[in-house]
Structure 1
């Protein structure tokens, strides 16, 4: 994947923590507070992610989709959005959800199988994570169409992985967005694999970004582990969308450090030299930390202090999430059918009539 992309990928910050020529120009225009926020959010999300894996291994939440390695793609893109914009995530955008305003304890509740984890606070324009692959893309495009019809200024963003580009929903969404020149951002986090299937077995094209040309709008391939390139590219795409210039397809080339989910063993299909290259040479947080220290924006002591604060925030959120009362079992039957079919209605009634707990609890 790297060999194919190196010549055309947009990069502002190298893996060694050095700014490129375009990166130096961008760095001078970014406020110091925002520079710190990039680091703070990437650190917060990584610490949260690692804690979630521990909770899953301890049986305190269900199957979980790790995101470590993809922090820059999520932080750089989400911080470019406004609170008025709509976000349509897949199941790996926990970082985006937190930045958009989803309380951390509710993200935990989602992975614990609780319906409360799907309900963002009032004013947070975040849809529930889409587990079916690519189904959120037409939804995002539909929201963008509504913005255009109503003459509203919000942008609609669909987040998805490279595997989603093999689905019809992706192509239908792109086609519709292109034909109607909608204020939509199609943000692909290409982490190289659709579970165990490498991108080279999904598509004959070298990039996802080049697919946009078939639908009449721009596609940009960026280093997804470079938070600066992500932020600037996303900001430019948003500006175009708000000004009526139509959609953009952004391909953020990144890598998940761990498995697809906690039910997966990535060592069975990913070569060890590839994993080592991405984990030890291309880490998004390491390269950005080097830049901050070299530039004098943050000291190592300040970074360590923030890490400790992040840990405390995560522990507090876990405590709140686990203090919720036991879930009502009838939630299993909610939010799927407007009117339950007879077979499910019978099951629901039987569950409601159980006395003294479930048989296995007696």
Structure 2
């Protein structure tokens, strides 16, 4: 049995296309992307890094509510989203707002979501997604159901969902991948292994050498990928999507990544459970630095272009937060009306009471 386990684990080697120096180490699997596509990937990562920095600042100013920093995970998040089609369905975790934004969610609504406003959870008609799931792992079960619905309707689309390494310790994780595997549902399950589930290192989450190997028990495809390499993440997600829409079932993708900031801005202090050496090691693998070197080597990127994106992001964020501030404040009566089509009798009296208060 030990031999069987070791033979299984040895098959899950990390897939990579670009190394830390921005050099191609896997020419055979280089994705078919145009120069404009490559530049767009870089533009999105730079924009998202600025969005993260500004969101942290806005949170500290009291102008945003809940916020989970994303710096370090841009390649994992945006490389996978870039492989999707507009009709695909995203079931994000709470750190996965960038994917929703690049799928079409307006910035001001992303800020409203952070503030707990119900309009931040109302996806535009062209954005097929649920609002970010706060319950760890619950989106995996939902994704399996959405994917099965797509299959039953004969749709050539996929449901993609995200969780962190800690999510793989939840029962919902196993139920979701097992259900999708049993029905060969077109789902893509991404585990963003950023090494720490809040403060618990992945080595204390599981005895498995990889999280990708957990796919074996569910009888589905599994792969571990360098989550700091946006080309590798794009390539494996694109392949998983193609196989899913062709009836070949779901895929579990483990992206090896790192969050540079705290788990969330709600009081987490990463210096209590991470060392300076760990931070320094992963900073050398920064997805933006790596991809920038690659593009500069191809004469596709410059400091001038990057500064232009930075200014564009800052301008967009300034306008969006202004729109967020101007949006009608959420009222108690809104919550009641959104919860019930017909108010129970015991709430009728409260509704009238709050209407009177809100009219003053």
Fold match (TM-score > 0.5): yes
Distance verdict in 2 for CA 1:214–1:338, change over 3 Å: farther
What residue number does 1:8 align with?
13
1:116 corresponds, among 119, 128, 136, to 119
1:22-101 correspondence runs (5 A): 22=26, 24-27=27-30, 29-101=32-104
**CA distance in structure 2 between the aligned counterparts of 1:297 and 1:30, rounded to whole angstroms:** 13
What residue number does 1:302 align with?
305
Contact 2:121 2:131 in 1 (8 A): yes
In the superposition, the TM-score normalised over structure 1's length comes to 0.91
**CA distance in structure 1 between the aligned counterparts of 2:346 and 2:285, rounded to whole angstroms:** 52
Deviation at 1:333, TM superposition (A): 3.9
**CA distance in structure 2 between the aligned counterparts of 1:205 and 1:352, rounded to whole angstroms:** 56
**CA distance in structure 2 between the aligned counterparts of 1:343 and 1:206, rounded to whole angstroms:** 54
**Is structure 2 residue 127 aligned with structure 1 residue 147?**
no
Per-residue CA distance 1:214-252 (angstroms, 9 max, x = gap) = 011111000101000000000000000000000000001
What residue number does 2:110 align with?
107
Per-residue CA distance 1:45-74 (angstroms, 9 max, x = gap) = 111111111111001111211111100001
1:230 corresponds, among 229, 233, 238, to 233
Per-residue CA distance 1:101-123 (angstroms, 9 max, x = gap) = 10111101110111111112112
**CA distance in structure 2 between the aligned counterparts of 1:111 and 1:212, rounded to whole angstroms:** 33
**CA distance in structure 2 between the aligned counterparts of 1:339 and 1:195, rounded to whole angstroms:** 41
Distance verdict in 2 for CA 1:192–1:353, change over 3 Å: same
Specify every segment of 5 or more residues in structure 2 that has no aligned partner in the other structure, as ranges: 1-8
Question: Any idea what SS the aligned residue of 1:220 has?
Answer: strand
Distance verdict in 2 for CA 1:337–1:194, change over 3 Å: farther
**CA distance in structure 1 between the aligned counterparts of 2:47 and 2:285, rounded to whole angstroms:** 19
Deviation at 1:178, TM superposition (A): 0.9
1:315-330 correspondence runs (5 A): 315-330=318-333
1:68-217 correspondence runs (5 A): 68-217=71-220
**Is structure 2 residue 274 aligned with structure 1 residue 270?**
yes
Question: Any idea what SS the aligned residue of 1:141 has?
Answer: helix
In the superposition, the TM-score normalised over structure 2's length comes to 0.92
Distance verdict in 2 for CA 1:345–1:14, change over 3 Å: farther
Question: Any idea what SS the aligned residue of 2:162 has?
Answer: strand
Contact 1:100 1:126 in 2 (8 A): no
Per-residue CA distance 1:259-306 (angstroms, 9 max, x = gap) = 011011111111221112112x01111111111111111222222222
Distance verdict in 2 for CA 1:296–1:333, change over 3 Å: same
Distance verdict in 2 for CA 1:191–1:356, change over 3 Å: same
Per-residue CA distance 1:191-229 (angstroms, 9 max, x = gap) = 111111111111110111000000111110001010000
**CA distance in structure 2 between the aligned counterparts of 1:161 and 1:19, rounded to whole angstroms:** 27
**CA distance in structure 1 between the aligned counterparts of 2:347 and 2:108, rounded to whole angstroms:** 31
**CA distance in structure 2 between the aligned counterparts of 1:201 and 1:160, rounded to whole angstroms:** 17
Distance verdict in 2 for CA 1:47–1:215, change over 3 Å: same
**CA distance in structure 1 between the aligned counterparts of 2:171 and 2:58, rounded to whole angstroms:** 35
Contact 1:97 1:126 in 2 (8 A): yes
Per-residue CA distance 1:9-67 (angstroms, 9 max, x = gap) = 111111121111x2x34447321111011101111111111111111100111121111
Contact 2:31 2:231 in 1 (8 A): no
Aligned alpha-carbon RMSD (Å)? 2.0
Per-residue CA distance 1:80-99 (angstroms, 9 max, x = gap) = 00011111001011110111
Specify every segment of 5 or more residues in structure 1 that has no aligned partner in the other structure, as ranges: 358-362
Contact 2:35 2:300 in 1 (8 A): yes
**Greater CA deviation, 26-35 or 246-255?**
26-35
Deviation at 1:353, TM superposition (A): 3.5
1:281-296 correspondence runs (5 A): 281-296=284-299
